[in-house]
Amino acid sequence: MQILKQYQDKKVLVLGFGISGLNAAELLAKSGAQVVANDQATPKDPTIVDHLKSLGIEVITGSNPLDLADRSFDLVVKNPGIPYDNPLVAEFVQKNTPIITEAELGAELFQGHLVSVTGSNGKTTTTTLTQLMLAHDSKHQVKYAGNIGVSFSKVAATLSEEDTLVTELSSFQLLGTPTLHPHIAIITNIFSNHIDYHKTRENYINAKLNITRNQTKDDYLIMNWDRDEWQRIAQRSQATIIPFSRQNKSHDGSYEEDGKIYWRGEYIMDADDIRLIGPQNVENALAAIAAAKLSGVQNSAIVDVLKSFGGVRHRLQYVLEYKDRLFYNDSKSTDIEATEVALQGFKRPVILLAGGLDRGYTFERLVPYFKKHVKAIIVFGQCKDKMKAAAEQANIPTIIESENAITAVPEAWKVSAPGDVILLSPANASWDQFPSFEVRGDRFIEAVEKLTGRKEQK
């Protein structure tokens, strides 16, 4: 395991006991830092605290004591989800104490071929596709890490200069990565996510652009070229821009034209041969293809991956078929844009399960997609009345209110017919009823399995 010698004898506060925080605390302790680990909650598993203490780490749980700000820390490693207006974090901001996220430790550790992916939607699928393509025929290790559920620093500590690491990075993580320097960066798209955290859309865009902040003309920024705004955003990078376009707006990178996928004029495959459903997954494939071609991957490896990969869990994931009904789990669709693109992926009639946390917006934008694709809708959660209003505006003939994504499954089955798709694509966050979109998706799958008596298809 590699360590970070520059932190020896440094006083470091690690805020948050998530996966990234625990890995950061362990790495820093093994690197010789004087580590204090603090979490506002008390872990249900006491072995977590015991393990940290066994490494010589001071552990404080149950609150974020403001007097921690008086202890002259050299560095704060913050859980990405903790906002900067958190009272304790704000104290460190005022004191100009450096604040990073665990991803920065990974960036400092890793000296190999780094590919980093961000964007509002499609990050995990693009990261996974890219890793699979680069690993297909590689003689060296090719791993993924980051916001995909595996600590960046933990994986980076196991790799050499000859290896490749593909990292998924959220806007929260990118705010604390001052030295991050991927050779290849990918921005899948930029919508208006997490404004409650970033306060403004411009702040959100700036956070995303941290992925390319340290790039030079010798590096590459792969950018979605299908909106004029995204083209303008790309010009703020010093890297060599590689566009990808599903709408055939550029031939300088990867693109789709007349149902075929190309790389700079070179035919790769037919878009219909991509196993993943929907136009958004064509975009994800195009981004991954660009990264793969820039990394020297053969077309045969690219095609093999795109023909065989069935999807990331909770991201337009095919669950199973029962009595000619197809069940799909798209619990990761926590915003309107994601549900728009999910609906466009189906030619069959859709029974949509939608709703969740009320963030204050309405759903008129979904009306044309409802009209074209949705035969029935089951609404639930805090925003069910707003979702119902949009469904009524679209003249959907069958609108049913249900308690949640679990109770909605039998309701959807009752109004379904052979040939239908039963789709969970909520267009909202899960936090009104579930701790995460992953839990919501898992419970949906369990409800489908209970209804059909079958197991999800892996």
Per-residue pLDDT averaged across 239-250, rounded?
97
Percent of the chain predicted with pLDDT > 90: 92
| CA gap 115, 136 in Å, rounded | 16
Report the range of poorest mean pLDDT among 168-177, 205-214, 229-238, 332-341.
332-341
- Average pLDDT score, the chain: 96
**Selection from 167, 174, 178, 172 nearest residue 112 by Cα:** 167
Annotated binding residues, written as ranges, equal 119-125
| CA gap 131, 133 in Å, rounded | 5
Band the pLDDT of 329: cuts 50, 70, 90: very high
pLDDT digits (tens, 9 = 90+) for 128-182: 999 999 999 999 999 999 999 899 999 999 999 999 999 999 999 999 999 999 9
Per-residue pLDDT averaged across 345-366, rounded?
95
Q: Where in the chain is the domain with CATH 3.40.50.720?
A: 8-99
Quote the pLDDT of residue 52: 97
Per-residue pLDDT averaged across 353-381, rounded?
97
Q: Where in the chain is the domain with CATH 3.40.1190.10?
A: 103-308
**pTM reported for the whole predicted model:** 0.83
Quote the pLDDT of residue 240: 98
Q: Where in the chain is the domain with CATH 3.90.190.20?
A: 317-452
Kindly report the CATH number that applies to the domain delimited by 103-308: 3.40.1190.10
Q: Which residue has the tokens 């004191």?
A: 95
pLDDT digits (tens, 9 = 90+) for 371-391: 999 999 999 999 999 999 999
Kindly report the CATH number that applies to the domain delimited by 8-99: 3.40.50.720
Whether the predicted pLDDT of 277 surpasses 90: no
Tell me, letter by letter, the H, E, C secondary structure of 26-69.
Answer: HHHHHCCCEEEEEECCCCCCHHHHHHHHHCCCEEEECCCCHHHH
Annotated binding residues for ATP, written as ranges, equal 119-125
Per-residue pLDDT averaged across 409-418, rounded?
98
Whether the predicted pLDDT of 63 surpasses 90: yes
For residues 126 and 280, the model is more confident at 126
Whether the predicted pLDDT of 47 surpasses 90: yes
Which DSSP state fits 309? -
Quote the pLDDT of residue 300: 98
Residue 134, amino acid: L
Quote the pLDDT of residue 323: 97
Q: Which residue has the tokens 């899960």?
A: 430
Q: Rounded to the nearest 10 degrees, what angle do helices 336-344 and 279-294 cross at? A: 100
Domain 317-452, CATH class in plain words: alpha beta
Quote the pLDDT of residue 299: 98
Per-residue pLDDT averaged across 311-327, rounded?
92
Quote the pLDDT of residue 28: 98
Backbone angles phi, psi at 131, to 5 degrees: -60, -45
Quote the pLDDT of residue 422: 98
Quote the pLDDT of residue 297: 98
Which DSSP state fits 244? E
Contact 74, 124 (CB under 8 A): no
Whether the predicted pLDDT of 357 surpasses 80: yes
Quote the pLDDT of residue 213: 98
Band the pLDDT of 193: cuts 50, 70, 90: confident
Per-residue pLDDT averaged across 337-364, rounded?
94
Rounded to a whole number of angstroms, the CA Rg of the chain reads 23
